[in-house]
């Protein structure tokens, strides 16, 4: 009897050990999948007669048509090497389809690919300039935010001109979607690149009603570069315009969110360039309310080092030279701040620097009345700023 009990217990234990080894019930063989690593969306010109357009999406005429390009990585694109006498094939495969709604267009793509599209490894979504100017971003991104298979950490970019060009590369081993993600990592070493915006973050921005920025990317001759940022207007959730690299630098100084970067100034005494490397940055935006009048003060402080200077007649450790250099850097930062404030206040009339949020925190009752038409109010409020630069390091040389 004792032996029988032991055998039963051992059999039960063996079954329990074997159960986890049966494999995953929901496994997907990678050879059968087309991994979507990037997606671009572009506005397509209307073609055909009004009668043809009326037949789309339940009979609604003249709907905007969108070209979606998926970048696939499959076992075939990454597994084949170079054949003798022939160039290596690309490490990706781009497939495009045009329609007037996102999901139906993606499903039509199934008719052209032999593998199942699998988007859980999607890295980036790029929206073309014309599409972002024409349609509400909330409509464009609704499917991607709802879809459970989409990666919530996927990045969102705006492309100047056509987005599909950013998913092309002349280099055989390049996968452009991966490259775009790697490029965003540079924001910690320059004030010219915005911190990346993910699908998770964009949902809150779209529902807030506030204007915001998205990283801008431009592709020319199949070479891709981050350059400035796209201004998204809060009310319409459409592209309002672009800020260039210098304007992004100024905005970063206003927000104090820079982790690293350089400022190039000119020594007034000699006319030679001096490069300041920012080691720390902080900014305090303080709102003021006097009756119906709203204003802001900005106090910007930074500590850094002289990374390079061409003033060979001066020693960096000399007090007079340090003070002169700090003043020159402060004046350059002043110019950067002034230029971007003029752009966002008077040209675009959009608060993309978070002034409204500072007002909301300190004066919630004032914000409640002002938030409905805040961008317009922001365009008229006076803003004063003060910059303080402190040089703490001169590098390894004192000459």
| Tens of pLDDT, residue by residue, the chain (399 residues) | 666 677 777 777 777 776 665 555 555 555 557 788 999 999 997 655 444 444 444 555 567 999 999 999 866 666 544 444 445 678 898 999 999 999 999 888 877 777 777 778 889 999 999 999 999 999 999 999 988 778 888 999 999 989 999 999 888 788 999 999 999 888 778 888 888 899 999 989 999 889 999 999 998 877 889 999 999 999 999 999 999 999 999 999 999 998 889 999 998 888 889 999 999 999 999 999 998 899 999 999 999 999 888 887 766 567 888 899 999 999 999 999 999 999 999 999 999 999 999 999 999 999 999 999 999 999 999 999 999 999 997 765 555
Long-range pairs, 50-59, Cβ under 8 A, ≥24: 56/99, 56/100, 57/100, 57/101, 57/104
Q: How far apart are the C-alpha atoms of 267 and 106, rounded to whole Å? A: 57
The label of the residue with tokens 């979606």 reads 68
Query: Is there a contact between 33 and 118 (Cβ–Cβ < 8 Å)?
Result: yes
Provide the greatest CA pair distance for the chain.
103
* Strand residues in the chain grouped as ranges (E): 33-44, 65-73, 93-99, 116-118, 124-128, 155-160, 212-220, 223-232, 239-243, 261-266, 273-290, 293-309, 383-393
Of the candidates 138, 129, 60, the residue with the CA atom closest to the CA atom of residue 99: 60
List, in order, residues 6 or more apart from 364 with CB less than 8 Å away: none
Q: 374: helix, coil or strand?
A: helix
Q: 25: helix, coil or strand?
A: coil
pLDDT of residue 28: 57
The label of the residue with tokens 């009603």 reads 209
Q: How far apart are the C-alpha atoms of 265 and 301, rounded to whole Å? A: 17
Of the candidates 134, 124, 371, 333, the residue with the CA atom closest to the CA atom of residue 234: 371
What are the chain's domains?
A: 30-46+64-79+90-243 (no CATH), 248-393 (3.30.300.210)
Of the candidates 127, 111, 118, 112, the residue with the CA atom closest to the CA atom of residue 39: 127
Calculate the alpha carbon distances from 296 to 93, 258, 285 in Å.
51, 21, 7
pLDDT of residue 47: 58
Classify residue 159 as exposed, middle or buried by CB count within 10 Å of its CB (0-12, 13-18, 19+).
buried
pLDDT of residue 174: 87
């Amino acid at each position: 009897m004792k032996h029988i009990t032991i055998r039963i217990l051992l059999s039960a234990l063996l079954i329990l050990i074997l159960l986890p080894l049966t494999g995953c019930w929901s496994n997907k063989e990678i050879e059968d999948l087309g991994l979507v690593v990037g997606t671009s969306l572009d506005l397509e010109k209307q073609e055909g007669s009004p009668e043809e357009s009326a037949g789309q999406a339940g009979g609604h005429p003249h709907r905007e048509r969108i070209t979606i390009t998926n970048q696939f990585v499959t076992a075939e694109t990454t597994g084949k090497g170079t054949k003798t006498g022939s160039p290596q094939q690309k490490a990706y495969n781009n497939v495009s389809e045009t329609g007037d709604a996102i999901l139906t267009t993606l499903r039509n793509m199934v008719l052209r690919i032999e593998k199942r599209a699998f988007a859980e490894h999607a890295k980036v979504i790029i929206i073309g300039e014309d599409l972002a100017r024409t349609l509400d971003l909330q409509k464009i991104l609704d499917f991607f935010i709802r879809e459970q298979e989409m990666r919530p950490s996927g990045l969102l970019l705006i492309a100047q001109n056509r987005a599909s060009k950013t998913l092309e590369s002349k280099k055989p081993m390049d996968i452009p979607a991966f490259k775009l993600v790697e490029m965003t990592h540079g924001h910690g070493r320059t004030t010219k690149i915005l911190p990346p915006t993910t699908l998770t973050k964009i949902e809150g921005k779209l529902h807030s009603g506030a204007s915001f920025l998205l990283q801008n990317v431009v592709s020319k001759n199949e070479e891709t570069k981050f350059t400035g940022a796209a201004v998204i207007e809060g009310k319409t959730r459409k592209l309002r315009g672009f800020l260039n690299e210098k304007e992004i630098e100024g905005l970063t100084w206003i927000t104090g969110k820079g982790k690293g970067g350089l400022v190039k100034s000119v020594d007034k005494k000699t006319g030679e360039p001096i490069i300041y490397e920012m080691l720390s940055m902080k900014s305090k935006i303080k709102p003021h309310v006097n009756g119906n009048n709203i204003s802001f003060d900005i106090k910007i402080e930074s500590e850094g080092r002289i990374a390079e200077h061409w003033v060979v007649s001066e020693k960096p450790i000399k007090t007079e030279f340090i003070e002169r250099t700090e003043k020159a850097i402060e004046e350059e930062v002043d110019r950067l701040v002034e230029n971007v404030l003029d752009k966002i206040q008077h040209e675009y009339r959009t608060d993309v620097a978070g002034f409204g949020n500072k007002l909301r925190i300190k004066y919630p009752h004032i914000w409640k009345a002002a938030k409905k038409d805040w961008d317009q109010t922001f365009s008229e409020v006076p803003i004063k700023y003060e910059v303080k630069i402190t040089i703490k390091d001169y590098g390894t040389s004192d000459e």
